[in-house]
A and B are shown apart, each in its own frame.
Chain A
Amino acid sequence: DIQMTQSPSTLSASVGDRVTITCRASQSISSWLAWYQQKPGKAPKLLIYKASSLESGVPSRFSGSGSGTEFTLTISSLQPDDFATYYCQQYNSYTRTFGQGTKVEIK
Chain B
Amino acid sequence: EVQLVESGGGLVQPGGSLRVSCAASGFTFSSYEMNWVRQAPGKGLEWVSYISSSGTTIYYADSVKGRFTISRDNAKNSLYLQMNSLRAEDTAVYYCARDGSTVTTFNWFDPWGQGTLVTVSS
Contacts and interface: CB of A to CB of B under 8 A. Distances in A.
Interface in A7-60: 32, 34, 36, 38, 42-46, 49-50, 55
Interface stretch (B7-15, B23-31, B103-111): B103-111
B59 to A, nearest CB: 4
Interface residues of A, number: 26
A44 B47 contact: no
A46 B113 contact: no
B103 to A, nearest CB: 12
B99 to A, nearest CB: 9
B109 A100 contact: no
B95 interface: yes
Interface of B: 35, 44-47, 50, 57, 59, 61-62, 95, 100, 106-115
Nearest to A33: B108
Interface in A60-107: 87, 89, 91-101
Given A43-B95, A43-B113, A101-B45, A49 B106 contact: no
Given A43-B95, A43-B112, A44-B112, A91 B45 contact: no
14 contacts: A1-B62, A38-B45, A46-B108, A49-B100, A50-B108, A89-B108, A89-B109, A91-B107, A95-B50, A95-B59, A95-B61, A96-B50, A96-B109, A100-B44
A95 B114 contact: no
A32 B115 contact: no
Contacts of A101: 44-45
